[in-house]
Chain A
Amino acid sequence: MAEKEVVETKKQKKEKMKKIKPGRLAKREARMGYVFVLPWIIGALAFLIVPLCQSFYYSLNRVVLNPTGMKFVFRGFDNYAQISVQDPTFLTDLANYVVTTVISAPVIVVFALIIAMLLNGKIKCRGLFRLIYFLPVIVVSGPVMSMLTGQGATSISSVDASTIQRFLEGVLPTNIAETIANLFGNMTQTLWYSGVQILIFLSALQKINPSLYEAAKIDGGSSWECFWKITLPTIKPMILLNVVYSIVYMSNNGNNNIISSIQTAMFAGTTKGYGYASAMAWLYSVIETVIVAVFALILMTRKDIYQKQVKKAKKEAKKQAKVLKKVQRREMKHEAKIAKATKA
């Protein structure tokens, strides 16, 4: 019976909570919130949502530019089908992009984590090292990178990529082996993309409470265990952040030849035009979003065991309450029946 009461009081409480309306102050605050966010909302509508729909519409049409304006000829998904015919290189570029991103994003993040760990100790001249590792963020841009790679400045001559490739080809399929070898060949390029990530990790590491490590040391934990049990769980959200940042950065930078091929397709004249370029852009964006989503799903922080147990207990209690209600209802019915029977 006690449980029943509890359930009832909870119900009453819920009803009471519903009845409370937001006060005048809360309303006014909400209104002010809209006022503050308004510029962004207008911007998002004008430069994000409307263009997104428009570009999807373009991608289903052939867009012909007239002096008077634009003419749309509906083609369905022909533009998408045309991509493989008109630009066979685009598809291989896309495949290369997927493989490169999937491999190099984790490499960049792991690498950034290692450097941040190294810098996190009692290091002299930490400022100088940070200065060096952050330098690429200032410098790196599409044209600069292409100039430097053009001169062979981004590969260190003593690291011979072809040897690595030959070794890897025995173990892996050629396509992936080539990508990994390229990764080694353009070592600097990979490293140069990890400037911001290093600093994010470093600042996260320095905010971990040192007393945690002390407690672990007293309990006899080695530094290896400390890394897996303390450091990694604490900075897990930062890992996700860095992976997403790396992927977005690599996909959006001007050195990406997919972007430049879309750009040239846009102004390529009658055979391609806006519609075709939109189809390409949609394909590319969907693929990139999928990559980000997969990484996010893998790295998403799972709820810890305590929270899981609490949830489980709550579920159990709910179930019990349901059963209790059922039994009570049945009893009531039964009683009513008995009463009827006795009356009769």
Chain B
Amino acid sequence: MKQKSQKPPKRNFIQEFKNSPPDVKKEKARKFFFGSKESDGFCKLFIIYALLICIGFIYIYPMLYMISSSFMTLDDLLDTSVQWIPSKLNLDNYINSARSMEFWSSFLKSVVIAGVPTIINVIVCSFVGYGFARFEFKGKYLCMGILIFSYILPSIITMMPTYVLYSNMKIVGHLTAFVLPSLLGQGLNCQLFILIFYQFFRQVPKVLIEAGQVDGAGYLKSYLRISLPSAAPAILTVFLFSIVWYWNESYLTQMYVTGAFRGTSIWTTLIIELKDFNTNYSSAQQSASTTGVSQNNNESIQMAATMLSILPMLIMYFVLQKQFVESIDNAGITGE
């Protein structure tokens, strides 16, 4: 027993390499650099990692640029010797741009504008997706065809009549303009969400539902009690994507909810504030110039504003990173 518990002596690879005859030496070196059948060689791995890191750098380059220049003062911007790291941590840009964007109130409004339709989307799309996946009825495939077609069609084509409809109903500039379509399964990218739920519910074994039926569960109950709890990954996926897409949507929000073209409404989002940042900032600055606390609009302030508008999503991403990255695996788009 004692002998078994003893660990085998550690092999000293370098020593072995030095002691081995030249032929074997060559072979070992070759194996190390070019790999064998079992494992990849050093060269291949090196190339893969180099590529991944380079591409990764290109990916986050704009983010890095944004973060670094958002902290810069005007002197740093003009100084050519300052490239990446600002000379001192300067939060004035953030304070200025947050004041101009009215950060907290816009933030809360954005959360409502993104959150309410998202929750409705999850409920309605799962309902409709279940209907498509579970039941056979006449015209089902026609409906699915229309569903996919409506995804391909750009939403701008129905915008004019929809806008007229909304203004006749007097809901332009209210949250209802987003809630109503998502209640009827026509919200932003709802087609995709319905398809995700459709895929997912098709994978739920029918035996389960039949067993439920034998035990006396009705259709609604078997949906609520059997299918929906097993679709938790799909629900999470739809929730995350929906909230991100609603948050980042600008032209539909501008059109229907913030009513930028006709009159004003109480609603605004951080992204919309960012879109109009330059004009808003200069007007805010003019009114503030009498009190003498203003600062001219510059690159760093714009970058700080951009950073502020995406910050909530970034924080959410880093908190829920695992769920985000695995969401597509879980959604079952790629089949089992």
Which B residues lie at the A interface, using CB under 8 A? 37, 40, 48-49, 51-52, 55-56, 58-63, 65-66, 69, 124, 127-128, 130-132, 134-138, 140, 143, 146-147, 150-165, 181, 183-186, 194, 219, 223, 244, 247-251, 255, 261-262, 271-272, 274-275, 277, 299, 302-303, 305-306, 309-310, 313-314, 316-317, 321, 324-325, 328-329, 333-336
Q: Is A300 an interface residue (CB 8 A)?
A: no
Set of chain A residues within 8 Å of B127, measured between Cβ atoms: 36, 39
Size bracket, chain A contacts:
35 or more
A154 touches B62 (CB 8 A): yes
A44 touches B131 (CB 8 A): no
Return the 5 tightest CB-CB contacts between A and B, nearest first: A36-B131, A33-B135, A43-B184, A141-B248, A54-B161
A41 touches B143 (CB 8 A): yes
Question: Knowing A199-B328, A238-B334 touch, does A147 contact B160 (C-beta < 8 A)?
Answer: no
* Most chain B CB neighbours (cut-off 10 Å) among A147, A206, A254, A262: A147
Q: Would you mind naming 16 contact pairs between A and B with Cβ atoms under 8 Å apart?
A: A29-B135, A37-B132, A43-B183, A48-B150, A52-B157, A118-B48, A138-B316, A142-B250, A142-B251, A142-B275, A143-B309, A151-B66, A188-B59, A192-B59, A266-B160, A288-B153
B155 touches A252 (CB 8 A): yes
Docked complex: A178-231 residues within 8 A CB-CB of B: 187-188, 191-192, 196, 199-200, 203-204, 206-207, 217
- Measured in the bound complex, the distance between the Cα atoms of B324 and A131 in whole Å is 9
Q: Is A35 an interface residue (CB 8 A)?
A: yes
A139 touches B314 (CB 8 A): yes
* Most chain B CB neighbours (cut-off 10 Å) among A32, A123, A130, A259: A32
- Measured in the bound complex, the distance between the Cα atoms of B140 and A31 in whole Å is 12
Q: Which of A1-9, A273-281, A303-311, A317-325 contacts B (4 or more CB under 8 A)?
A: A273-281
Chain A residues touching B, majority SS: helix
Given contacts A44-B147, A44-B150, list 17 more A-B pairs with CB under 8 A.
A30-B137, A40-B131, A49-B146, A51-B160, A58-B161, A127-B325, A129-B52, A138-B316, A138-B324, A143-B271, A153-B61, A187-B58, A199-B329, A203-B328, A254-B251, A267-B262, A277-B160
Set of chain B residues within 8 Å of A298, measured between Cβ atoms: none
* Most chain A CB neighbours (cut-off 10 Å) among B185, B277, B299: B185
Which of A47, A142, A153 touches B184 (beta carbons < 8 Å)? Answer: A47
Set of chain B residues within 8 Å of A80, measured between Cβ atoms: none
Q: Is A263 an interface residue (CB 8 A)?
A: yes
Q: Is A134 an interface residue (CB 8 A)?
A: yes
Question: Knowing A55-B161, A123-B48, A289-B152 touch, does A196 contact B328 (C-beta < 8 A)?
Answer: yes
- Measured in the bound complex, the distance between the Cα atoms of B94 and A335 in whole Å is 102
B134 to chain A, nearest CB (A): 7
- Measured in the bound complex, the distance between the Cα atoms of B154 and A123 in whole Å is 39
Which A residues lie at the B interface, using CB under 8 A? 26, 29-37, 39-44, 46-52, 54-55, 58, 70, 115, 118-119, 121-123, 127, 129-144, 146-148, 150-151, 153-154, 156, 187-188, 191-192, 196, 199-200, 203-204, 206-207, 217, 238, 241, 244, 248, 251-252, 254, 259-260, 262-263, 266-267, 274, 277-278, 281-282, 284-285, 288-289, 292
- Measured in the bound complex, the distance between the Cα atoms of B66 and A150 in whole Å is 12
Question: Knowing A36-B128, A133-B56, A151-B302 touch, does A47 contact B325 (C-beta < 8 A)?
Answer: no
Which of B124, B302, B325, B336 touches A131 (beta carbons < 8 Å)? Answer: B325
B128 touches A40 (CB 8 A): yes
- Measured in the bound complex, the distance between the Cα atoms of B250 and A47 in whole Å is 20
Set of chain A residues within 8 Å of B310, measured between Cβ atoms: 138-139, 144
B303 touches A281 (CB 8 A): no
A135 touches B60 (CB 8 A): yes
A137 touches B154 (CB 8 A): no
B36 to chain A, nearest CB (A): 13
Set of chain A residues within 8 Å of B37, measured between Cβ atoms: 217
A116 to chain B, nearest CB (A): 11
Set of chain B residues within 8 Å of A137, measured between Cβ atoms: 244
A57 to chain B, nearest CB (A): 9
User: Which of chain A's residues has its CB closest to B309's CB?
Assistant: A144
A151 touches B157 (CB 8 A): no
A52 touches B328 (CB 8 A): no
B164 touches A70 (CB 8 A): yes
- Measured in the bound complex, the distance between the Cα atoms of B69 and A118 in whole Å is 32
Set of chain B residues within 8 Å of A274, measured between Cβ atoms: 160, 164
